[in-house]
Amino acid sequence: MLAQITAAISERREELFALLRQLVSFPTVSPPARNTDEAQTWLAKQLSDLGFDVDRWTLYPGDDNVVGIRTGSDREHYHSLVVNGHIDVAEVGEERGWQYPPFALTEGADGRLYGRGVADMKGAMAASLFVLKLFKEYGVELRGDLLFQSVIGEEAGEAGTLSAIERGHTADFALVMDTSHLRIQGQGGVITGWITIESPTTLHDGMRAKTIHAGGGVFAANAIEKMMKVIAALQELERHWAVTKSYPGFGHGTTTINPAVIEGGRHAAFIADRCALWITVHFYPNESFADVAREIEQHVLAAAAADPWLRHHPPTFRWGGRSMIEERGEIFPSLELAEGHPALQTLQHAVASQTGREPTLSMSPSVNDAGWFAHKGIPAAIFGPGELNQAHSVDESVDPAELIAFAKVLAQFITEWCNTPKGKGEVKR
């Protein structure tokens, strides 16, 4: 039956492309977001028509999560799987800069398919829906549960996937179908944070001489200038990490602390009494965002303790958030691959069988929602079609042959993993 399904994927590829054409037509751009209702309504109907129970709930007005659940015929004894994708796509910018219309699937002269999201990641969503359609047509039995998650907000650091996990939509393994060029990947993590310095007093600009010159007698400071010491401390720690930290699959110095945004002062007639710095921190797969944030706080506070004014008015910290839009903060946890996990071995076997090449385990240079599964104790991997350099690009495109190959791998992986008895193949760490 698997051979029949994989043959049908090749022979009926236009049906896959039709699903992708429909998905691309929904302008689910984030930011501004709050625009996925129509797309999620369409997708929920697709899942319902395929025999899935559908759970839909609102995270923000205009942005719902959709999860389809196909209960296995012997769910107590066979493995379950989540396939996860995000329905939102990156912003487009000025459409006149595009050769091809961003929200109409177009085949280019080079044979590639063009449109916003074809690589990141509506191509994978369409391919997976096509596989599920064929499963129904061919009467494929799955003994374990299969969950299809269409989440919102990934492009804006919004916790759509985390919300699905918190709602109880979990499994023995999760496959996040984000852009990986058909490589099986883990990832480092990213957390943003705000560091704020505030003075208890607000002074006129004319008081500056009394705060900086001998005998002035006013114990005060300019918050912007004091933030320069914090930035210097962050740069020092970043260089220390580059020397002392490493992880296979990443170049040295991948752990970075980027001072991305600075806000401070009232206007030119005042000494700045407040300054806030927004930083973006990249860390390795074997690190947690909580540990990394703690390390930064300790280093910055130690530097502040050496400054006479900051010692009494130390910086404060606010880390992460569930939305870059609503909270100006985000977290993408890291994901280490459990190389001996039976699901990962099953996925490697499916890649080898359907593509004819030896599967490789690697690390994504980017981040996505896969880390939330690992953070919640669910083994996971990133695996999807499309090249990373196409994600977010003008005239985003994907090789249609890669969509076909992905669909075949997914069909084999689902049928094998969801029909594997629990306890078969112990995890080797």
CB 48 within 8 A of CB 150: no
Tell me if residue 172 is catalytic: no
Cα atoms in the Cβ-side hemisphere of radius 13 Å centred on 63: 28
CB 54 within 8 A of CB 48: yes
Amino acid identity for residue 304 in this structure: A
Please name which of 140, 313, 156, 150 lies closest in space to residue 226, comparing C-alpha atoms. 313
* Structure-block tokens of residue 134: 């064929």
* Structure-block tokens of residue 115: 């449109």
Distance, CA of 188 to CA of 184 (rounded, Å): 14
Residue 78 DSSP symbol: B
Cα atoms in the Cβ-side hemisphere of radius 13 Å centred on 165: 22
Residue 176 DSSP symbol: E
Parallel, antiparallel, or unpaired: how do β-strands 106-107 and 113-114 relate? antiparallel
Distance, CA of 355 to CA of 405 (rounded, Å): 7
Q: Containing H/E element for 67?
A: strand 63-70
Neighbour tally for 183: CB within 10 Å: 18
Q: Is 178 helix (H, G, I), strand (E, B) or coil?
A: coil
Distance, CA of 421 to CA of 103 (rounded, Å): 43
CB 114 within 8 A of CB 179: no
Q: Which of 120, 154, 336, 369 is catalytic?
A: 154
Q: Within its chain, how far is the Cα of 269 from the centroid?
A: 43
Q: Which of 63, 64, 88, 369 is catalytic?
A: 88
Tell me if residue 88 is catalytic: yes
* Structure-block tokens of residue 270: 């005042």
Residues 6+ apart with CB under 8 A from 291: none
CA angle 206, 208, 213 (to 5 degrees): 130
**Angle between the 122-138 and 13-25 helix axes, to the nearest 10 degrees?**
130
H-type helices in 245-341, by residue range? 289-305
**Block residue for tokens 């096509």:** 130
H-type helices in 155-288, by residue range? 160-166, 208-212, 223-244
Instruction: Verify cis geometry, omega within 30 degrees of 0, for the bond prior to 363.
Output: no
What residues act catalytically?
88, 154
